[in-house]
Amino acid sequence: MTPTPIVFAPLFILATAIFVFSCWKRLSLTCLGKGDNRLDNIGRRIADTLGYAFAQRRVLAKPSGMIHLIIFWCFLVLLLANGEFILQGFFPSISFSKLPDMAFVLVLKAIDIASLLALGAVITASIRRIIAPPYPEARNSFEAFFILFLIAVLMLAYFGINAAKMAAMAVATRQIAIETFPISGWFVQFVPAGNEKLFHDLSWWIHAIVLLLFMNLLPLSKHFHIITAIPNVFLRRLEQPVLPQREEFKAGNSFGIDQIDGYSWKELLDTFSCTECGRCQNACPAHLTGKPLNPRQLIHDLKINLMQNGTALRQGQTAVKALIGEGEGAVSEEAIWACTTCMACLESCPVFIEQMPKLIPLRRHLVEMQAKFPEELLNLFENIEGRSNPWGIAPSERGKWANLLGERPFVAGETEYLFYVGCAGSFDSRSKQISVALALLLDKAGVNWGMLGKDELCCGDSLRRLGNEYAFETTAVKNAALFNELGVKKVIVQCPHCFTTLQNDYRQYGVELELIHHSQLLVQLAESGKLPLNNRVKELGVTTYHDSCYLGRHNGIYDEPRQVLELATGRPPKEMERNREDGFCCGAGGGRMWLEEFTGERINLVRVKEALEQQPDTICTACPYCMTMFEDGLKDLHKGGDVQVKDIAEVMAEAVLTKL
Amino acid sequence: MSENAKKPKRPRGRARLLEGKCIACGGRCEAACPVNCIVLDEAGAPIIDAPKCIGCTKCVKVCPASALEMSFTSQELAILAELEKSGTAVEEEDPEAAAIARLQAAYRGVWVFVEQEDGEAARVSWELLGKGKELATKLGTGLAAVVIGHNVEHLCSEAFCYGAEKAYLLDAPVYAAYRTQSYLEAMHHLINSHKPEVILMGATGMGRDLAGAVATRIGTGLTADCTGLDIDDKRNLMQTRPAFGGNIMATIMCDKYRPQMASVRPHVMKMPDEQKGATGEIIRSDYQVGEDSVLAKVLEVIKDNDATNQLDIGGAEFIVSGGRGLMGPENFAMLQELATELGGVVGASRSAVDAGWMSHDRQVGQTGKTVRPKIYIACGISGAIQHLVGMQDADLIIAINRDKDAPVFEVAHYGIVGDLFQIVPELTRQIKELKKNKGKVN
């Protein structure tokens, strides 16, 4: 069989048509989604695409990512080879040999090397998938091994074509060819003498058919990401952190999402961009402790749901497969509630899929449309709605932690900083100590600060993360009015949840505040000399620092808390294995502080054990939730006597306020 | 003002502000004025549109600083003087008050709603009959029980034994299982037919559901969770209950509308003595709510009868709770002994449940149960806020902890700093002793 255009051309056209149809069938489903403008800031988007999609920045965060980098770049180089191949199928006279000699050698050498690297990479990938898969199910993925196999066949077929061509040459030219292209040249020995043309044609057709087969397998498998990943990165969400949208509370509106077309088109595109690499699930604290939530599985289930409901939804009917429920293609309620909103999944995804933000609208639906949420939240919602704090304590008690400090009202036009204490700092007996430490430090540094006292309302963070958007809106509107009335501009907070809510979420309510987390302020004050470091605190011994998710991944504050500790103790804290962007959640975010954990291991215990590996004397936190989780965890592990937990403000207070 | 030759109408005058006396209370006068002739100026003081004033004197009465008075023209003053002399001054009635008094005269009687499930009455209903009797006596009127259900006539006899003189009975299949709609219609019908002046209901799940619905339908006032009930000299029910997080006791009156509705929690009122064999009048009503018109249908009732380990501590009057300080599961037996002597149950804090010493249904706190017992004894519980949320509304909190700085002492009424392993058994022993001696004295 010769590579005759008469056979190849229609075959190619048919295969391509099927391919295009397959792609369209899936991608057109994204049109069912709501609108979303993702074409702002084109310059930044291009830069990000180059950095993340082409330089594979996040892929390389894991060492095994090197395998993918090689395959990716080899594919790009081999686009040249395959381009020539396909054109040759139509017009046999097209060939690189028509190029000037230098270019010809360069191109073919590059293709040779790329093919070998790709072959090596897929073999390594296969071995790795068997002996050290990213997650156990990956070992059994037929489609993964099949694709790797097909790539290997393509590479070998390419070598076969070249080898056959070389074998058919006159001895002298063959020798030169083998020397110039040693890789293809090595395969010449396998070409049976006298059957060079047959070998060539066989290799050619194997290459052709496998190529067309490979192309058509893409939309049907997770390898669709080859088409969708780069656009997905280009269209990524630029705002940080990811914020839910406001809801319009009008009669007749529906709230939250319970059908797949409630998501935006970009969120639906996400489901087609997943390579099922498992980085997200291996970072997810819920999954790692045995909860039914698995971010990778979530994206997969959303994709299945979309595809199963596509026909019905396109005809304007209701979905046949429910979005919230059990089994494949649905998200279970337990999984929905298991999320701590720590953002580890978003941080780890190489193609910028947003897993966690897809859960919040589901929570909104359960809370606002069905009133179906874990029992423990009844108390929480009632207490915040009625008394504006999660524990239902009389609001008049709020300012009492500062009784010994005297009246510190925030006077509009006079006070520079509002110290927004937060509910924990006002009511929780352990967190009150942080408030006191911070207040004393502020006084020492001569900061002009005031607080709202009993007029302070809960920021509402837990409400928003749990999907009770209506109660959140009520709280936010009140708070916004209060801040605007008092002309509040600069706010000091000790709680990262208050930080992110007042800084970011409240922008949606017309409030632009300059938030300063106490770690940032303490560094500023210490470095400008306003806080004299009298006593480099030695008694705290070996310290280690736990990154708060809402401070770290949500708002990018990693250095300042560490700087506080270094300034106060004289040396930087020991780092835990999973730190900074990879930090492991304490388990209290996403409203889970108020919920029980019934499945698997306690998230906070896992993190406490990880901290204890550093053999610290003091574990340092910068968030009242983390503080509570760590203290409880240490008590549960009976380590309460050996290891203590301190907030960074308390550490700094010991350095500044005690004299040697 | 026109003068009537026969009987001179008493001039009412117009309201006037006494300069300098206004304390800018926020405009109670403005709120009270029925003809909206008062607006507040920038300082918060009233500006009275004198021509509009009808002289009802409401603003004068409501002003907390007595800064308003009725002013009369010299003509009106002359009339007043004459009326004074002739002694024919007729105290004009406030038309609104007169209307209310007429309305209320039609409502007589104290009713107690008898809550029942499967023909068994909730104990709170009998407690309320006891209190209801007291109220009815003060009002000089009768006490009636309201019994709604299916095959529940025997409850009328029981009600008579607890002091009811009458019992209104609605017995029909549509009332078999409680549904808001059917019971609401029934109560509405009964109230319109018989016009009680006071209705008491137990503040249970069913009571809370029904009371609010009935009050809204009738358009009257309801005070929930009352801790005290009494009658004032104007036949008004004085409904007392804690408010503002328990910081004050508020007495609430429903002085304009009838019937006056109040709900009371179980175990607040004293259980009356049972008068066996007492009789009374059963007033049967055949008012039926059409089954088809009731949208809620009871398809299945699943009873949770596993009472061995599962216990609802939410309803207990006395709770002895243990925390981390108990050190181990075996020590909870000590708490159980004390609880048994008190007739209560054992609860646990989160730490004890997490450690596996007690089951989750015993957990008191943010993510466990919220309890409102009469007495809560916290043993070896530090009192972290998440625990306090679950028990801070207890009537009496006693804390036993060896750490004098434990936060639990901030909310406890009585605290003992010491070793609970010595204190708790001693407490139990002394209570046993007291009970024995009490028996001897009697």
* pLDDT tens profile A121-149: 999 999 999 999 999 999 999 999 999 99
pTM equals: 0.79
From chain B, the residues in CB contact with A430 under 8 A are 384
- Give the closest residue to A600 by CA, choosing from A306, A288, A299: A288
On the question of pLDDT at B90 being above 60, the answer is no
User: For residue B22, what are the CA distances in angstroms to A614, B26, B27, B30, B58?
Assistant: 69, 10, 10, 13, 16
Specify the pairing of strand B143-149 against strand B110-114: parallel
Number of A/B CB contacts below 8 angstroms equals 46
Residue whose pair of structure tokens reads 């300063």 in the numeric block? A516
Q: Using 50, 70 and 90 to split pLDDT, how confident is the model at B440?
A: low
Cα–Cα distance for residue pair A200/A204, rounded to 1 Å: 6
Report the residue of chain B nearest A374, measured CA to CA: B367
Euclidean distance between CA atoms A134 and A518, whole angstroms: 39
Omega before B259 cis (within 30°)?
yes
A429:B244 CB<8 A: no
pLDDT at A659: 62
Alpha-helix residue ranges (DSSP H) falling in B37-179: 58-62, 74-86, 95-105, 123-139, 153-161
Contact state of A383 with B324 under an 8 Å Cβ cutoff: no
> CA distances (Å), A282 to each of A128, A156, A327, A349, A583, in order?
17, 34, 21, 11, 12
Q: What is the mean pLDDT of residues A247-275?
A: 95
- Contact status of A454 with chain B (Cβ, < 8 Å): no
Strands A417-420 and A449-450: parallel
Q: At B382, phi and psi to the nearest 5?
A: -70, -30
| Separation between Cα atoms, residue A493 and residue A483, nearest integer Å | 14
Least confident of A328-342, A343-357, B344-358: B344-358
Give chain B positions within 8 Å (CB) of A625: none
Q: What is the mean pLDDT of residues A468-478?
A: 96
Q: How far apart are CA B243 and CA B155, in angstroms?
A: 35
Residue found by looking up tokens 């599961």 in the block: B329
Mean pLDDT lowest among A288-297, A347-356, B350-359: B350-359
Chain B touched by A639 (CB under 8 Å): no
Percent of chain A with pLDDT over 70: 99
Look over chain A and give the mean of its residue pLDDT values, rounded to a whole number: 93
Contacts of A601 in chain B (CB under 8 A): none
Pick the residue from chain B with its C-alpha nearest to A430: B384
Q: Is A388's Cβ below 8 Å from some Cβ in B? A: no
Q: How confident is the model at residue A426 (pLDDT cuts 50, 70, 90)?
A: very high
Hey, how many other C-beta atoms are within 10 angstroms of the C-beta on B214?
24
Of residues A261 and B86, more confidence is placed in A261
Q: Does A372 touch chain B (CB under 8 A)?
A: no
Task: Please give the mean pLDDT across all residues of chain B.
Answer: 89
Across the interface, which of B351, B354, B385 has its CB nearest the CB of A391?
Answer: B385
Bridge partners (DSSP) listed for residue B202: B264
Q: Which residues of A fall within a CB distance of 8 Å from B355?
A: 636
Distance CA B311, CA B371 (A): 13
What tens digit of pLDDT does each residue of A446-465 get? 999 999 999 999 999 999 99
Least confident of A327-336, A495-504, A650-659: A650-659
The tokens 């359960």 sit on which residue?
A366
DSSP letters, A540-558, are T-SEEEPPPTTTTTTT---
Percent of chain A with pLDDT over 90: 83
Closest CA to A479 of A454, A511, A523: A511
**Is residue B5 over pLDDT 70?**
no
What the block records as the tokens of B147 is 């019994």
Mean per-residue pLDDT, A423-427:
96
Q: Which residue of B has its CA nearest to A602?
A: B354
Q: Which helix (H) or strand (E) holds A462?
A: helix A461-465
Q: What is the mean pLDDT of residues A402-426?
A: 94
CB atoms inside a 10 Å sphere around CB A20: 11
Q: How many angstroms separate the first and last alpha carbons of chain A?
A: 92
Q: Which distant-in-sequence residues (6+ apart) come within 8 Å of A320 by Cβ?
A: A308, A309, A312
B231 pLDDT higher than 70: yes
DSSP state of A618: E
In this model, does residue B96 exceed pLDDT 90?
no
CA dihedral A499, A505, A507, A509 (to 10 degrees): -120
pLDDT of residue B313: 84
Q: What is the CA radius of gyration of chain A?
A: 30
Partners of A627 on chain B (C-beta within 8 Å) are none
- Residue contact B389–A430, C-beta within 8 A: no
Q: Does B386 touch chain A (CB under 8 A)?
A: yes
Contacts B370 to A, Cβ<8 Å: 379
- DSSP annotation string for A46-64: HHHIIIIIIS-TTGGGSTT
pLDDT of res. B1? 43
Give B242-282 pLDDT, tens digit per residue: 887 677 888 999 988 999 999 998 888 888 999 998 999 99
Residue B108's φ and ψ, nearest 5 degrees, are -140, 150
pLDDT at B3: 45
Tell me the per-residue pLDDT of A204-258, one tens digit each, with 9 for 90 and over.
999 999 999 999 999 999 999 999 999 999 999 998 899 999 999 999 999 999 9
The upper half-sphere exposure of residue B316, i.e. CA atoms within 13 Å in the direction of its Cβ, equals 24
- What is the residue-wise DSSP string for A490-526? EEEES-HHHHHHHHTGGGGGT---EEEEHHHHHHHHH
CB proximity A139 to B under 8 Å: no
Mean pLDDT along residues A630-659: 90
Packing angle of the helix pair A196-217, A5-27 (nearest 10 deg): 20
> What is the distance between the alpha carbons of residues B219 and B213, in angstroms, rounded to a whole number?
10
DSSP helix/strand/coil, B24: coil
- The stretch A507-523 carries a mean pLDDT of 95
For residue B183, what pLDDT is reported? Answer: 96
More confident residue, B4 or A511: A511
Strand B14-17 and strand B68-71: pairing?
Answer: antiparallel
Dihedral in degrees, nearest 10, Cα atoms A62, A68, A72, A74: 120
Interface with A, mutate which of B324, B351, B372, B389 (most A CBs under 10 A): B389
Q: Six-digit token pair at B254?
A: 């429903």
pLDDT at position A92 is 85
Q: Is the complex ipTM more than 0.85? A: no
Predicted pLDDT at B56: 87
Is residue A626 helix, strand or coil?
Answer: helix
Phi/psi at B66 (nearest 5 deg)? 50, 45
Q: How many CB atoms sit inside 10 A of residue A481's CB?
A: 13
Tokens describing residue A280: 């997200």
Quick count: other Cβ atoms within 10 Å of Cβ B324? 19
Q: Would an 8 Å CB–CB cutoff place A376 in contact with chain B?
A: yes
- CB of A429 within 8 Å of any CB in chain B? yes
Sorted by sequence, the CB contacts under 8 Å of residue A97 that are 6+ apart come out as A104
At A585-614, the pLDDT tens digits run: 999 999 999 999 999 999 999 999 999 999
Nearest to B366 among A376, A393, A636 (CB): A376
Inter-CA distances, A341 with A245, A296, B46, Å: 16, 15, 54
Structure confidence at residue A609 (pLDDT): 96
Q: What is residue B79's predicted lDDT score, i.e. its pLDDT?
A: 85
Percent of chain B predicted with pLDDT > 90? 55
Pairing of strands B116-117, B375-379: unpaired
Instruction: Tell me how close the Cα of A383 comes to any Cα of chain B, in angstroms.
Output: 10
Residue A317 DSSP SS3: coil
Give me the residues paired with residue B144 across strands. B111, B166
Q: Is A535 in contact with A658 (CB distance < 8 Å)?
A: yes
Q: Is B244 on the interface with A (CB under 8 A)?
A: yes
At residue B89, the pLDDT reads: 54
Helix (H, G, I), strand (E, B) or coil at B240: strand
Q: How do residues A542-591 score in pLDDT, each as one tens digit? A: 999 999 999 999 999 999 999 999 999 999 999 999 999 999 999 999 99
User: What is the residue whose two structure tokens read 């596993």?
Assistant: B306
More confidently predicted of B440 and A240: A240
Q: Are B344 and B316 in contact (CB under 8 A)?
A: yes
pLDDT-derived band at A1, boundaries 50, 70, 90: very low
Q: What DSSP string runs through A325-375?
A: SSSTTSB-HHHHHH-----HHHHH-TT----GGGTHHHHHIIIIIS----T
Report the alpha-carbon distance of residue A260 to residue A276 in Å, rounded: 20
Given pLDDT bands bounded at 50, 70 and 90, which one contains residue B91? low
